[in-house]
Structure 1
């Protein structure tokens, strides 16, 4: 069972079809309406418009996750990086723009449903910086980080793109810098994900960050 919480007509149109393609969907206008429904709804996905009545940011995310930890939360809105990272830390699986087309929405829904995390290119560098700072404060793990030699499995172009993703560049920016098409960038990233056994851009960025330190 999936839920869409929004009183905005454009947001509803943006997410309604991609969500219905993935199973049963209930549309609610306010955040408070979803709470009694989600507590015994098993597992699923709830997409919340950050401007929905009753939604109070991280407090609402934590409350929802307490009621049903199995539900994945995806937020829709325009978030500054600090707010986006706070939402992820509270239990959200992603924060996405209300300006995406349906195909982009489908891709994000697939990533979140599979357990991945969706993070914007603006927030990714800050997240990596926080993780580096945190790793410096704790003792090194028993397991060695991935060796930089692992990246040798990639072609030169694939390594370039992987490092650009780690730097927070979007597909469009990468395509412009390398003078290739967005479709070519996506094709390279698909291959990179498979070769490095990572699931999404966040895992790729973390992988590249760790190998650069080894």
Structure 2
């Protein structure tokens, strides 16, 4: 993941850049001044973070980057929470605002929400922007009303692109999953924005949440075992283990869910090794006694994402796609275990 942090040179920029490096495993942070911002081919960021105190320069930076990558997630850091300033950034397509007095944890959590395709504002900012983001009473739609724009004009491929974008996937990952070029993804997204009458990825994602066609595609993808790591970032914490260290022991309390980002983990009792892209610990979360069914030992240095049992269960109830993926995963593993020759 490439994060571009735009701010004046100095201690503030250096300090925040170090915090941003903890956003995700292998996160690369590049810094630039507002006036010197320039993007080279092959160096398009996955996230843009701005020092928003110089509003004019910050908005210019947003426009420069968005001309090249329209759906880029953007967040700003502000010293003073002024409603007019916040509204201006929201209108420009910024998805998250964080006060500079907040903690590093608040900043990272907000950025993970932004990466997942959500507009995320701290409580104080929500109070300031409530009137701006809520439509007048006479124009509000009922919860089941037809979404704005013309979603029926979208092709099957565009619905697939929208479904992946709404899950927080980058253009590069969408292109890889659908076996198309990044340029084609951008063209589809431009057409999607016009059809839905929105101007940003986050707005399209909010509209997508109300489209049955998108929901059907996402459920189908989950049944095929596809899981968006970006969706999990807001709920999971990066952790590292050395080769030879146990991830968990058989019969231990099942207190967390894991996703392997890098490395190999061996499930001792059944003699299976798993690698990147694998979810671990899901069966123990739902077993009657909430105990681990085997020991997981790191065969190499490993980087993982971890979610507490409470967060994993909460996400299961809140996110139908994640719940479908887990049910499919548990069923597949239990079936494989039944088919495995017994000693």
- TM-score range normalised by the length of the shorter chain: 0.5 to 0.7
Q: Distance in 1 between matches of 2:10 and 2:65?
A: 21
Q: Distance in 2 between matches of 1:61 and 1:34?
A: 10
Q: Distance in 1 between matches of 2:315 and 2:12?
A: 33
For the residue of structure 2 that corresponds to 1:36, the secondary structure is coil
Aligned residue in 2 for 1:27: 31
- Note if contact 1:44-1:70 (Cα within 8 Å) is conserved in structure 2: no
Aligned residue in 2 for 1:18: 20
- Note if contact 1:81-1:122 (Cα within 8 Å) is conserved in structure 2: no
TM-score, normalised by the number of residues in structure 1: 0.56
TM-score, normalised by the number of residues in structure 2: 0.37
**C-alpha RMSD of matched pairs (Å):** 3.5
Aligned residue in 1 for 2:75: 74
Matched, 1:111 2:139: no
Matched, 1:58 2:59: yes
How far did residue 110 of structure 1 move? 1.3
Aligned residue in 2 for 1:3: 4
Aligned residue in 1 for 2:293: none
CA 1:14–1:142: 2 relative to 1, 3 Å? closer
- Note if contact 1:5-1:31 (Cα within 8 Å) is conserved in structure 2: yes
Q: Distance in 2 between matches of 1:126 and 1:101?
A: 20
Higher RCO by CA contacts (8 Å cutoff, separation 6 or greater): 1
Q: Distance in 2 between matches of 1:35 and 1:68?
A: 13
How far did residue 106 of structure 1 move? 1.9
How far did residue 90 of structure 1 move? 0.5
CA 1:131–1:47: 2 relative to 1, 3 Å? closer
Q: Distance in 2 between matches of 1:21 and 1:57?
A: 22
Aligned residue in 1 for 2:48: 46
Q: Distance in 1 between matches of 2:53 and 2:10?
A: 8
How far did residue 135 of structure 1 move? 5.0
User: Of residues 111, 128, 131 in structure 2, which corresponds to 1:129?
Assistant: 131
Aligned residue in 2 for 1:148: none
Structure having the higher Rg = 2
Greater share of helix residues, 1 or 2?
A: 1
Unaligned runs of 5+ in 2: 147-309, 321-343
User: Of residues 89, 99, 122 in structure 2, which corresponds to 1:87?
Assistant: 89
Q: Could you tell which deviates more after superposition, 55-64 or 106-115?
A: 55-64
Aligned residue in 1 for 2:39: 36
Q: Distance in 2 between matches of 1:132 and 1:51?
A: 25
Aligned residue in 2 for 1:175: none
